[in-house]
Amino acid sequence: MTKSTQLAKLLLVEDSQSTAMVYAAYLDGLFDVTVVYTGNDAIEALSCHHFDLAVLDVQLPDISGLEVLKVLRAQDQALPVVVITAHSTVEVAVEAMRLGGNDFLTKPFDKTRFQHTLRQVMKTVQLSSLVETYEKTFERNHFYSMVGSSLPMQAVYRIIESAASSKATVFITGESGTGKELCAEALHRESPRNQKPFIALNCAAIPMELMESEIFGHIKGAFSGASQSREGAAQRAHGGTLFLDEIGEMPLALQSKLLRFIQLGTFQAVGSNQEVTVDVRFVCATNRDPLEEVRAGRFREDLFYRLNVIPIHMPPLRERGQDILRIANAFLQTFNEDEGKSFQGISREVNDRLMSYQWPGNVRELANVLRNMVVPNQGQQIETSHLPDFFQKQENAPALAAVLKPVVVVADEPVAADTPILPLWLEEKRIIERAIDHYQGNIPKAAAMLDISASTIYRKKQFWAAQDAKQAGR
């Protein structure tokens, strides 16, 4: 690569001698340029000599520059390649990126644009090789059940390790499906409490009126239906860790009881006036922005600061680079075993698609996609034809689609004036079901687009089922 004494070696493949001279002049003093004029000469030069960068014209007299790229990528995945074309169509650009080009330039371009593009490509490649070196140096590709060796996950592993021995409260934030529960579990398993219970309670999955009794338990007769006393999660977690997931869903009145419990370590079961003392470590999680919840008055400020002693942020999957493929391969192995399949790997094209997708439902969505590909199919390799429908629809614009249009919005259909007005929960049901249909049943994705958590949808589905049952019983 570029050293102060030595210029980076660049192969320029351009059929027109005069144009090649102009380009070479543009790069004078920046790169050590070798020029070839045909596709076959380019292939030979690339197999016999070392280059740090290649600039490939698409229109060549013998074979197309894209063919050269294909041959090159079969042997060398790492060499940065910029494709230049006079025929600026989106298709050529997309095809160049799909075949492994790092960037493309449309003729005509001036010296500044040319130099800028090449510098950017070199910078990006150098950065990603630096990241890879760091990732290899750390040599930690998983931590308990969490797969991943990206830098943001290394940071998560380090916080867990340093926080494990203390009793300080941990507050985990992150989008739905990023692995907050796995993180809480890893913290427990790494801690001296690991021989005692890890009790997880998802506040979003419990009806509001039962939440207090789920956490603190109740005595017989405390409310209608309480035919006998029952221990809550707090008591069951004695000596171990109590994980309260989706803490943002907890009603304000219960938040004050929780605060008292955290401060004093004591609580009263519902219907009882006896104080119970337990020793638990608290770990909480939310997929909302906790400070925003505090500002909006939905979350008690004093509780937030009491909980947020050790914050851990789970990075979204789209920011974990190659971890997407590491996790995909781990899921492939699991589903192979579960389903008696024998897939050996994932094709390069599918890998590219997985890497360029935005993953609004994060790791949970990746697991769903892999399961949907493994279960109904057979073969040695996962191919593009196995990808679910919503990936197939992006078929013609894989990498660019993710860059140009990262967010798909549910179409805003006008509501006809004579549409009947329904109770609010039914209107809400209609909107949520429309989003789920829009994403072919993909709940994490629908939830991400509606800006709510997937578990909120699951909880609402339980509620709708109960309403339907009530209606049927009438």
Ligand X SMILES: Nc1ncnc2c1ncn2[C@@H]1O[C@H](COP(=O)(O)OP(=O)(O)OP(=O)(O)O)[C@@H](O)[C@H]1O
| Site residues, ligand X (CB under 6 A) | 146-148, 174, 176-182, 245, 287, 327, 330, 363-364, 367, 453-455
Nearest residue (CB) to ligand X, 9 versus 189: 189
CB of 369 to ligand X, least distance (A): 12
Nearest residue (CB) to ligand X, 358 versus 455: 455
CB of 20 to ligand X, least distance (A): 48
CB of 327 to ligand X, least distance (A): 5
Nearest residue (CB) to ligand X, 117 versus 362: 362
Q: Are 43 and 13 in contact (CB under 8 A)?
A: no
The amino acid occupying position 454 is A
Nearest residue (CB) to ligand X, 97 versus 330: 330
CB of 151 to ligand X, least distance (A): 14
d(CA 181, CA 144): 12
Nearest residue (CB) to ligand X, 23 versus 331: 331
Nearest residue (CB) to ligand X, 82 versus 363: 363
Q: Where are the beta strands (DSSP E) in 156-296?
A: 170-173, 198-202, 241-245, 266-268, 275-277, 281-286
Q: What kind and span of H or E run contains 353?
A: helix 348-356
Nearest residue (CB) to ligand X, 361 versus 398: 361
Q: Are 60 and 12 in contact (CB under 8 A)?
A: no
d(CA 308, CA 209): 26
d(CA 309, CA 171): 7
How far is Cα of residue 40 from the mean position of the Cα atoms in its chain? 41
How far is Cα of residue 91 from the mean position of the Cα atoms in its chain? 28
Peptide bond into 376 cis (omega under 30): no
Cβ-based neighbour number of residue 290 at 10 Å: 21
CB of 272 to ligand X, least distance (A): 31
CB of 56 to ligand X, least distance (A): 37
d(CA 340, CA 337): 5
Q: Are 459 and 466 in contact (CB under 8 A)?
A: no
Nearest residue (CB) to ligand X, 180 versus 193: 180
Nearest residue (CB) to ligand X, 66 versus 332: 332
CB of 308 to ligand X, least distance (A): 17
CB of 172 to ligand X, least distance (A): 8
Q: What kind and span of H or E run contains 347?
A: none
Q: What is the signed CA dihedral for 221, 224, 229, 230, rounded to 10 degrees?
A: -160
Nearest residue (CB) to ligand X, 176 versus 394: 176
Residue nearest ligand X, CB atom distance: 179
**Residue written as token pair 């985990």:** 172
CB of 181 to ligand X, least distance (A): 3
Count of residues for the chain? 474
CB of 447 to ligand X, least distance (A): 8
Q: Are 444 and 434 in contact (CB under 8 A)?
A: no
**Residue written as token pair 């500002």:** 295
Mind giving me the DSSP string for 58-76? S--SSS-HHHHHHHHHHH-
Q: Are 147 and 327 in contact (CB under 8 A)?
A: yes
